[in-house]
């Protein structure tokens, strides 16, 4: 939209600042000029007034005009002021203009005699005078007219000097302020430039970099801080992604290596039907494991991209839990474990029946897998008005505190070999957590080493 230098915030800020300042200064200048003028001229009026009072007191004696022997102070030489007095017929009876070329104004005198005072401005010998003409009245009526003139050159000089100062100071102040504005804008915005420069260097390949600008805690500082936090989150999620890919490849390679080994052994020499059956059975089991692993991976990948459509239908939670427990009862019995299912209240959830089943299966399966024979696995559920709670506890080896925060991570296994022997891939709990969260719930674990582990799932009810 805007082109050239206007694309710089610095320039735009400075221009705005300059405009505002220009208008403000001009307004203040004009205001002060008129206030000063008003004050100067009102002083001048007061002086004229004072002179008129003086003249009145001197030329009126016994209710009559008497200018004989009148001595009035003045400086007619410099022409700064003058006084004239006229009698009731309008004849000039006193004049200290001393040859100054102040023209008389018979019409104004006449009007004053009729009670109409007036003022005018005159130029005399280069002196500018404010002149006031007033009637001299006594108890006997109008006895004459006085004309008092006072130079306003001082006031005009002051105003002129003021305008001159203003005319010089205005552009100077504008220039100085603009310089200051540019400096301030540059100072305020330079961290943003720095931010942009450093941010340009950060690419998807190198998210380890941070701005690390250590700016003060102001708007820009917080922006940089937020940016760093965002990069840190991106970095973490890219790192996880890479880790996930690496782990997934690794997980897939293990069964493939096993398959290859089995095939190679089988091919080493001719075997009878039984021999081939044995190998194929082992291969079949390994392939099953791979299918489960790939299915889990696919699930997680889809969950990540939000692709899995979650159906929201009324689910009878008790049924789901009972189904899961009954499905796994043979496995528990095979390991000589007591699987106790304690029924809870009727709970209906809005959710995906298959996913919820998988969630409970994962937890009960883990409990059976990791509890040594002779132990027990307890499955219960409860509900209040707003939420349901599923509990799966076992008397297994427990999980050490340092592992607890990480067991929900993908591929995280405390004892890799044992987990893999039991068919585990380290994805079960991360899938379980995703299922709980996608239903608006959560999953927690508490464990006491050597005593057992309890997983608790909270799910909001319908
Ligand atoms: P796996 O496929 O290895 O079971 P999970 O994600 O289900 O993967 O579990 C992650 C790890 O948490 C397991 O490898 C195991 O070490 C630990 N774990 C899970 N459930 C239990 C349990 N009930 N008792 C002890 N350890 C458990």
Using the atom order of ligand 1, give the atom closest to the CA of residue 413. Answer: 14
**Among protein residues, the one whose CA lies closest to atom 23 of ligand 1:** 367
Cα-to-chain-centroid distance, residue 167: 42
Distance 418 CA to ligand 1 centre (A): 10
Please state, in angstroms and rounded to a whole number, the distance separating the CA atoms of residues 422 and 287: 15
131 beta partners: 120, 149
Structure tokens that stand for 222 in this block: 């917080």
- Tell me the pLDDT tens digit for each residue of 357-385: 999 999 999 999 999 999 999 999 999 88
- Per-residue pLDDT band for 2 (boundaries 50, 70, 90) equals very low
Q: Does residue 412 line the site of ligand 1, with CB under 6 A?
A: yes
Rg (CA), the chain: 52
Cα gap 437→310, rounded to integer Å:
12
Of 370, 375, 392, 405, the one to substitute when testing ligand 1's pocket (max ligand atoms within 8 A of C-beta) is: 370
- Fill in the DSSP letter of residue 8: -
- Determine the Cα–Cα distance for residues 412 and 240; give it in Å rounded to an integer: 12
Task: Flag whether the pTM goes above 0.75.
Answer: no
Pairing between strand 348-351 and 313-316? antiparallel
CB within 8 Å of 416: residues ≥ 6 apart = 426
Q: How far is the CA of 452 from the centre of ligand 1 (A)?
A: 12
What's the pLDDT tens digit per position in 186-236? 888 888 888 888 888 877 667 887 877 777 888 888 888 898 899 899 888
Is residue 414 lining ligand 1, measured as CB closer than 6 Å? yes
Q: Is a pLDDT exceeding 90 seen at residue 76?
A: no
Kindly tell me the sign of the dihedral angle through the C-alpha atoms of 216, 220, 224, 226. positive
Residue 43 confidence (pLDDT) above 90: yes
The stretch 268-293 carries a mean pLDDT of: 90
Cβ atoms within 10 A of the Cβ of 308, count? 17
DSSP state letters, 35-64: HHHHHHHHHHHHHHHHHHHHHHHHHEETTE
Output the pLDDT for position 304.
79
Q: How far is the CA of 20 from the centre of ligand 1 (A)?
A: 69
């Amino acid at each position: 939209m805007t082109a050239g230098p206007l694309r710089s915030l610095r320039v735009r800020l400075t221009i705005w600042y300059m405009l505002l300042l220009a208008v403000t200064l001009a307004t203040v200048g004009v205001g002060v000029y008129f206030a000063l003028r008003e004050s100067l001229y009102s002083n001048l009026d007061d002086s004229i007034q004072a002179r008129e009072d003086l003249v009145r007191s001197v030329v009126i004696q016994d209710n009559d005009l008497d200018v004989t022997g009148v001595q009035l102070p003045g400086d007619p030489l410099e022409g700064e002021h003058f006084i004239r007095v006229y009698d009731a017929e309008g004849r000039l009876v006193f004049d200290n203009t001393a040859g100054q070329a102040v023209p008389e104004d018979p019409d104004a005198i006449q009007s004053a005699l009729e009670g109409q005072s007036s003022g005018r401005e005159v130029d005399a010998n280069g002196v500018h005078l404010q002149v006031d003409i007033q009637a001299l009245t006594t108890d006997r009526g109008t006895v004459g007219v006085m004309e008092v003139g006072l130079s306003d050159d001082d006031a005009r000089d002051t105003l002129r000097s003021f305008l001159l100062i203003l005319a010089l100071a205005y552009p100077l102040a504008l220039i100085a302020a603009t310089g200051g504005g540019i400096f301030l804008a540059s100072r305020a915005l330079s961290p943003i430039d720095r931010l942009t420069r450093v941010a340009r260097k950060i690419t998807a390949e190198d998210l380890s970099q941070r701005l690390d600008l250590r700016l003060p805690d102001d708007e820009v500082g917080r922006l940089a801080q937020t940016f760093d936090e965002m990069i840190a989150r991106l970095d973490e999620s890219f790192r996880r992604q890479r880790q996930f890919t690496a782990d997934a490849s690794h997980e897939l390679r293990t069964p493939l290596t096993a398959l290859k080994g089995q095939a190679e052994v089988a091919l080493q020499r001719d075997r009878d039907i039984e021999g081939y059956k044995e190998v194929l059975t082992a291969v079949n089991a390994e392939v099953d494991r791979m299918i489960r692993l790939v299915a889990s991976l696919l699930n997680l990948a889809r969950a990540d991209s939000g692709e899995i459509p979650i159906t929201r239908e009324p689910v009878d939670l008790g049924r789901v839990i009972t189904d899961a427990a009954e499905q796994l009862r043979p496995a528990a019995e095979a390991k000589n474990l007591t699987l106790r299912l304690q029924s809870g209240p009727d709970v209906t959830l809005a959710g995906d029946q298959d996913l919820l089943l998988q969630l409970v299966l994962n937890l009960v399966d883990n409990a059976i897998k990791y509890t040594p024979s002779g132990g027990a696995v307890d499955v219960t559920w409860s509900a209040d008005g707003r939420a349901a709670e599923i509990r799966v506890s076992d008397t297994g080896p427990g999980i050490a505190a340092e592992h607890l925060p990480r067991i929900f991570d993908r591929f995280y296994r405390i004892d890799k070999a044992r987990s893999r022997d039991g068919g585990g891939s380290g994805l079960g709990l991360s899938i379980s957590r995703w299922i709980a969260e996608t239903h608006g719930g959560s999953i927690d674990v508490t464990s006491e080493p050597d005593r057992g582990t309890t997983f608790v799932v909270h799910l909001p009810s319908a």
